[in-house]
Every structure is written in structure tokens, then in C-alpha cells.
Amino acid sequence: MPRLNTLLRLATLLLAATALDAAGKDCMDPRAHHFDFWIGDWEVVNANGTVAGRNRIEAILDGCVLQETWAGTSGSAGTSLNFFDVERGKWRQFWVWREGTTLELEGGLVNGAMVLEGDSLEDGKPTRNRITWTRRSGGKVNQLWEVSADNGKTWKSIFDGMYHPARSP
């Protein structure tokens, strides 16, 4: 049943993104392109210098949606859809791991960085997630993923990765 719910949610987001385009909005709101700096083929390196994996971010549906395809060196894999929700006035991300678990985030540009937040359950306990993508020099992007078990009073970093433009294989 969880996989069916995941598939239904993913289909709903795809339909919503398609409806945005069909409604004639064509991503005309400048905020719909605030996350374009993430588009590319990337090699992602942990804070300790080891390669965490590769990530491909591509614009789909006439440039209105960003699709992420992650392949971790440890065998992890997943994908996300990212789009600016005109009705909410926020960026939204819907992430699905290979194992069928999901994470939904929303937010927007804060001081030049994309900051998205959302809730999940970790070991049965409510957890707040905050992921921040920041442009860096040399065409790089830093991704910092933090979690909070006390609804945002304190944060703990669980991933700090630097996106480097990937070299062709």
C-alpha cells in the first residue's frame, strides 16, 4: 500500500506540473527559475572529500519542472520532481527513494540560496528536514541537509555535499 500511495502522489505532482503548463502559465513567474542554478550533471563530494555519488538535474515539461536523478556510490538511488507552485507561491520538491520512501519539501529562495523544508518520520518520531542549496564559485553548488527532532529549535547536519560539474565518463 505505501508504494501505491507513493505512485499516486507522484502521478498527482506530474499532473499538477502538466496542468501548470497547460493553463498557459508557461513558467512566466520569475520565481519559477530561481532553482535553475541546480541544473546540470554533477559529481557530489562529501565534506570529507569522498565521492558520494552522481546527480543529474534536468529541466522537463518546457522548463517548468526540474527532475533529479540520484545515484549514490553506496547503491542508494532516487529521483525528485521540483517546481514552483504558483498557487502556493513556493517551490515544492517530491523525493522518492528506490526503497519507496518519500520526502516532501517546500520553500524558496532565501538570501540567494534555495531552502526547502518538510516533515518526515524517522524511527517513528517526527523529524523536520531542511535542505539548503547554495551557489558557490567555479560553477559548484553546496547542498546542506539538516534535521531537527524539536521542530526547528536545534538542527543537526546529516549531509554536506559539494556539487562539482561532472566530467564525461
- pLDDT confidence of residue 9: 55
Read off the pLDDT of each residue in 113-122 and give the average, rounded to a whole number: 96
**Domain range for 70:** 2-165
Residue 84: Cβ-neighbour burial (10 angstroms; 0-12, 13-18, 19+): buried
Q: In this structure, are residues 142 and 163 in contact, taking their beta carbons and an 8 Å threshold? A: yes
Residues 54-92: tens digit of each pLDDT: 999 999 999 999 999 999 999 999 999 999 999 999 999
Q: By percentage, how much of the chain surpasses pLDDT 70? A: 83
pTM above 0.75, yes or no: yes
Domain count, the chain: 1
Q: By percentage, how much of the chain surpasses pLDDT 90? A: 78
- pLDDT confidence of residue 123: 87
Torsion angle defined by CA atoms of residues 57, 58, 63 and 64, in that order, rounded to the nearest 10 degrees: -50
- Rounded Cα gap, residues 30 and 53, in angstroms: 31
- pLDDT confidence of residue 100: 85
Residues 20-57: tens digit of each pLDDT: 444 345 689 999 999 999 999 999 999 999 999 999 99
- pLDDT confidence of residue 3: 53
- pLDDT confidence of residue 16: 47
- pLDDT confidence of residue 58: 98
CATH number at residue 50: 2.40.128.20
Judge whether residue 19 has pLDDT over 80.
no
